[in-house]
Structure formats: C-alpha cells, structure tokens
Amino acid sequence: MGGKTQHPISNTQKSFIWRRLLAFLGLAAIAGLLVILINVQSFAMFPQARDFLTKTPQYPKVTKIPSPKPHSLPPTLAQWQDPTNSGDYFSQVAPTQVGYLVWSQFPVTVYIETPKAISTRQAETWVNEVLQAVQEWNPYLPLKVVETPEVADITILRKAPPLQFSPGNKFPRARSALTTYVLYTKENFLYHRFNILLHPSQTGKYLLAAVRHELGHALGIWGHSQIESDALYFSQVRNPPPISPRDVNTLKRVYEQPTSLGWTLSKAERTQSALRVHSSLGVGNPPSGLIHRTALA
C-alpha cells in the first residue's frame, strides 16, 4: 500500500526534477551562447587595446650599431606649425636600441597587399580604406604607394595578428592590429622596415582608424597617447578621431631626435664587426639581412 502511494509521488518528483534540470540546462546553454555572441561582437567592434609595445628582444651581441645622430628635419615637418598649440605626448614615445624610429629617405614607400580571401569588390573597399589612411599622413611625411613588397619600407597586410600571450593571463588576447619592424644593413648603413597586420574583422571606419594608428607607429611614434582625441590613443574608440595636431607635434619632436637608423658605422667600428655581423645575418641578398625584430600593438 505504502509502495503504491509512494510511486506516483516519486514519479511526479522525478519528472519535476527532470523538468527543472532541462530548464536549467537550456538556460545555461542560452547564457553560454550569449556570452560567446557578445564576445564575438565586441571583438568585431572594439577589439580592446589594439596594440601594445612588446619588449625589444636582446640585440645580438655581435652587431655594432652606428652612433645615434639626428637627421635634418623633413621639410613637411619643418613647415608644420600647430595653430592650436595643443602640445604633444612625446614623453610616451620610447626610443629603441637604435634610437628613435625615424625615416631618413623620402618618400617612405608603402606596399598594400590586395586581399585574396574576399571578393574583388570587398578587396577594393579594403585597399581604399588603407589608401585613405596613407593619404592622411602624406602631408606630414611624404609617402608613396609601390606595387611590389620587395622595395617597400612599410608593408600592410589583411591578416590576423598572432594571439598575444602574457604572463598574468591564462588566455591569449586577440589583437586588432600589429606593427613590427626589422632592422637590416645595406652597404654598412643601418635601416629599418615595417610590417603592419590588420585583423580581417576590422572594416569601415574601424579599419581606417586602425591603419591611421598603425601608420603612426610605423612613421616613428613608437608609443601611445593618453588622450582619446589622438589617433595614437592606446585604445579603440567608438568614433575614431582624425590625425590630431598633438599627433603631428609628437611626430615632429620624434624627427628631431638622434637615431642610428640611416647612418653608417665608423671605419673603426666596421673593421671590428663586419665579419661577425655578416656571418650572423646569414644569407645576405641585400637589403634583407635580418638583425632583429620587435613589435608594437
């Protein structure tokens, strides 16, 4: 008897528990999906801090660096006057082991790789956004778009940057863009060359803002602004600003600084180091001798 009365209750309880469990699992699945969707969307819109400075790897000991000297200021920057007198963020720009990353030969050549993974029309739109950013910097430093990557000082690619692993974080961070440079020697002169990777998720005004920002790094602003209205602000913003007077003031100050780039080793330095440098560089179809690589995000 007791058994008979217990069974229906037990079944009701069981089915109740099952319903609760299913409802809970359903909710959990929906919540999980929402988290994923929100993350994907926020990544597409605001891939967080777009870039960051990574520590410069140890410079190979065999390499001698020409002693740093300033180059003469490019006329475009010499002419620049800031009517708003809005200052700069030069203190945020880091010199590297070769000094400031200034170009000394103009125009600086830029190669824009036409994307292959998207339609011709989408590729054209993408290239046009990149071209616009190149045009925006052109009044401050002469730039020239070239058709082959071999001769380019700066190469721009539509490609996801490698995930960023950092010591404190368990999970790697996605980056919307990454700018790296390499150093090479040609006839004993030290030069650099830049590579810019732009994440395929970047489109429209965010793509334009990313190229504008990364080109700022590649032109020598190796650091970030703390003010949102500057193109070199460290984070992405909803309404990306154009190149600001503060960006140009900072660029101008960078070009007044000493650098080892664009200079040659002294005769004494050369005889000391030439043999060792060449053997460490490996194959030297100039100007491809890779000495060192570092990145800014």
Measured from the CB atom, is 51 or 88 closer to Zn ion?
51
Number of shown-chain residues binding Zn ion (CB under 5 A): 1
Binding letters toward Zn ion, positions 46-85, x by CB under 5 A = -----x----------------------------------
Smallest gap from residue 216 Cβ to Zn ion (A): 8
The full DSSP string for the chain is -HHHHHHHHHHHHHHHHHHHHHHHHHHHHHHHHHHHHHHHHHHHH--SB---BPPPPPPPTT---PPPEEPPPPHHHHH---TT-----GGGPPPBBTBS----SSSEEEEEPPPSSS-HHHHHHHHHHHHHHHHHHTTTS-EEEES-GGG-SEEEEE-PPPPBP-TT-SSPBP-SEEEEEEEEEETTEEEEEEEEEE-TT--HHHHHHHHHHHHHHHTT--S-BSSTTSTTBSB--SS-----HHHHHHHHHHTTSEESTT-B--HHHHHHHHHHHHHHH-S--TT----EEEEE-
Smallest gap from residue 221 Cβ to Zn ion (A): 8
Smallest gap from residue 16 Cβ to Zn ion (A): 56
- Chain position whose Cβ is nearest to Zn ion: 51
Binding letters toward Zn ion, positions 188-227, x by CB under 5 A = ----------------------------------------
Confirm or reject binding of residue 247 to Zn ion (CB under 5 A): no
Question: Near Zn ion by CB under 5 A, which window of 45-53, 63-71, 103-111, 127-135?
Answer: 45-53
Measured from the CB atom, is 77 or 177 closer to Zn ion?
177
Smallest gap from residue 70 Cβ to Zn ion (A): 24
Smallest gap from residue 66 Cβ to Zn ion (A): 27
Measured from the CB atom, is 136 or 281 closer to Zn ion?
136
Smallest gap from residue 264 Cβ to Zn ion (A): 31
Residues that bind Zn ion (CB under 5 A): 51
